[in-house]
Amino acid sequence: MSAQFNFARRPFRDDRPAYGLAAFLVLVGAVLLTINLRLAADYRRQVADTRAEIAALEARERGAEEKAQAARSALGSYQLSALAEESKGLALIAAERKFSWTALLARLERTLPPDVGLVTLQPTFDLNGHSSLDMQLVTKRRDAIVRTIEALSKNPVFGHVELKSESQQEGAPTAEPIQFALSSRYDPGAAR
C-alpha cells in the first residue's frame, strides 16, 4: 500500500517523531563511528609500537644467536686446535719412545770409518714424525771427515748430511784430534 501525502485530509499524520528518532539514531551512529575510528587509530598506533618493539627484540635475539653461534664455533675450533696440539705432543712422545738407540748405534758403527770416534749424539724429532741427528765426532786425520760425510751420504738411512763445524787447537801437533760436528736426517725405515 502506498502512502498518500494529502495534508488536507484528516487525520493528519505526524512523521516528525520518526524523523527526529532517525536524526537521533544517525547522530548516535556518527558519534559511535567517531569513537570506533579513534579506537582503531589508537589500536593501530599501539600495535605499531608493539610491532616495533617485537621487531627490535627479534633483531636482538638474532644478534645474540649469531654471537652465541660464533662463540660456539670459536670454542669448538679452540678445542680442536688444543686437541691437535696435544696430539702433536703425543706424536712426539711416541716417536721418542719408538726410537731405537741400539739400531742407530749399530748403523753408525757399520757406517762410520774406523778411525772416527763418536763424542756426542743428539736426536731431535719434529711434529711430522721425522728425526734428525746432531753428531760431534773426532778423528786424527783430516781426510776422515770427507770419508765420514761420504759414508753417511751413501747410506739410505742417513740423508742431507751437513758439516756444521770443524776445529783443532791452534799450534797443536798434527797428532792432536780434530773435532767436527755433523747434522743428518735419520730415517730408519729407508733401509727396508
The upper half-sphere exposure of residue 148, i.e. CA atoms within 13 Å in the direction of its Cβ, equals 28
Per-residue model confidence as pLDDT tens digits over 168-183: 766 555 667 889 999 9
Kindly state whether residues 27 and 86 are assigned to the same domain: yes
Type of residue found at 82: A
Per-residue model confidence as pLDDT tens digits over 121-144: 888 887 666 788 899 999 988 888
Please choose, from the candidates 168, 135, 167, the residue with its C-alpha nearest in 3D space to the C-alpha of residue 151. Answer: 135
Q: Which of 83, 98, 113 is the last residue of a domain?
A: 98
Per-residue model confidence as pLDDT tens digits over 51-60: 888 889 999 9
7, pLDDT greater than 90: no
Neighbour tally for 95: CB within 10 Å: 17
Cell numbers for 158: 742417513
Kindly state whether residues 87 and 118 are assigned to the same domain: no
Per-residue model confidence as pLDDT tens digits over 87-113: 777 777 777 777 788 888 888 888 889
Kindly state whether residues 73 and 106 are assigned to the same domain: no
CA distances from 152 to 55, 121, 145 (A): 75, 14, 11
Per the structure, the complete domain to which residue 183 belongs is given by: 99-191
Least confident of 21-25, 96-100, 184-188: 96-100
Kindly state whether residues 41 and 118 are assigned to the same domain: no
CA distances from 73 to 3, 10, 67, 83 (A): 87, 98, 10, 15
Residue 189: its pLDDT value, please?
A: 73
> What's the domain count of the chain?
2
